[in-house]
Amino acid sequence: MRHRTVVLVCALTFPLLCGRPAGLIPLLPTQRIYYDDRPPVGQFRDSLRMEVRDLRTWSDVWTRATAAQSPRPEQPSVNFDRELVLVVAAGRLSPGDQIRVDSVGTQGKLFVVVVRTILACQRFPSEAYPLEMVKIPKTDKTIAYQERRERAPGCQ
């Protein structure tokens, strides 16, 4: 009985220490399909959390996100029968700041997405607009976003 209590306490405490709620798994780097932080050409200027569930929307989002690039990168393929794309944008920040989908998972009736905004140690007098797109397994659950904002490691 005592052993079970120790295991239960460790199982509940470890995710809290790591900053992730229980039941969520870190996103693999291979799930990232796009990242950019250049000033956008009229699109994705504001903070955004969006799920893309069909090819038509995906084509539109991809075109808008890559409009300033020449040549434009090839649009990654997504199997919308099994996957969806999360688009997270931070809005106007400073160069060196980042946004990322940290982890995802199911908690009760929700599919939880943890979005982490990391602010660089040094602020620069120009603009950046971090934007990330990731592929995740398709879910029919309501998606809830949990926001985390922190300074980059090593900042004083």
Closest to 151 (Cα-Cα) out of 91, 112, 86, 93: 93
Token code pair at residue 130: 């971090």
Please tell me the predicted confidence (pLDDT) of residue 21.
Answer: 54
Residue 17 inside a domain? The answer is no
pLDDT tens digit sequence for 102-121: 999 999 899 999 999 999 98
Tokens of 147: 């926001």
Q: What is the pLDDT of residue 29?
A: 76
Question: Is residue 1 in some structural domain?
Answer: no
Residue 19: pLDDT over 90: no
Q: Within a domain: residue 15?
A: no
Domain count across the chain: 1
Mean pLDDT of 16-44: 73
Please state the φ and ψ torsions of residue 24, each to the nearest 5 degrees: -100, 145
The answer to whether position 98 is within a domain reads: yes
Tracing tokens 């971090």 back to the chain, one arrives at 130
Mean pLDDT of 131-135: 95
Whether the per-residue pLDDT at 4 is higher than 80: the answer is no
Asked if residue 4 belongs to a domain, the reply is no
Q: Which domain holds residue 96?
A: 22-151
